Amino acid sequence: MPKLYKIIRSISPVAWLTLLLLVSFFFRLFRLNTPPTYIFDEVYHVVTVKAHARNNPAGYEWWHQDPEPNTAYDWLHPPLAKLIQAGSVRLFGETSIAWRFPSVIFGTISIAALYYLALTLFKNHRLALLAAALFSLDGLQLTMSRITMNDIFVTTFIIFTLAFFYRFLAAVTKKNQKLFLFLTSLFAGLSLATKHSALLVFPVLAIFTLRKFIISKAFKLKHPLIVAYCFLVIPLVVYLFSYTQFFLQGHTLKTFYELHQQIYWYQTGLTATHDYQSAAWQWPLLIRPVWFHVEYLSSSIANIYNLGNPVIFWGGLMALVFKVPNIYLLVSYLALFVPLAFSPRIMFLHHYLPALAVLTIILAQVLYQTKNKLLITSYLLLVALVFLFFYPLNTAIPIPETWLQYWFWLPTWR
* Lowest-pLDDT choice from 38-47, 218-227, 379-388: 218-227
pLDDT on residue 221: 46
User: What are phi and psi for residue 403, nearest 5 degrees?
Assistant: -85, -15
Buried b / exposed e along 25-35 (16+ C-beta atoms within 10 A): bebbbeebebb
Judge whether 408 and 401 are in contact, CB under 8 Å: no
> Which of helix, strand or coil describes residue 228?
helix
pLDDT on residue 37: 94
Question: Which helix (H) or strand (E) element contains residue 400?
Answer: strand 399-400
DSSP string for 258-316 = HHHHHHHHHHHH-----TT---GGGTTTT---EEEEEEE-SSEEEEEEE---HHHHHHH
The edge-to-edge listing of strands for the beta sheet with 290-296 is 290-296, 300-306, 399-400
Neighbours of 116 (CB within 10 A): 19
pLDDT on residue 285: 96
pLDDT, tens digit (0-9, with 9 covering 90-100), for 317-359: 999 988 878 999 999 999 999 999 998 889 999 999 999 999 9
Neighbours of 123 (CB within 10 A): 9
> Which of helix, strand or coil describes residue 325?
coil
pLDDT > 60? residue 124 = yes
Tell me the C-alpha to C-alpha distance, in Å, between residue 126 and each of 9, 70, 370, 371: 9, 48, 13, 12
Mean pLDDT score, 296-314: 94
pLDDT on residue 3: 67
190's CB contacts (< 8 A; 6+ apart) are 80, 157, 238
**Domain segments of the chain as ranges:** 2-413
pLDDT, tens digit (0-9, with 9 covering 90-100), for 159-198: 999 999 999 999 888 888 889 999 999 999 999 999 999 9
Determine the Cα–Cα distance for residues 189 and 123; give it in Å rounded to an integer.
Answer: 27
Judge whether 283 and 351 are in contact, CB under 8 Å: yes
Q: Name residue 305's beta-bridge partners.
A: 291
Length of the chain: 414
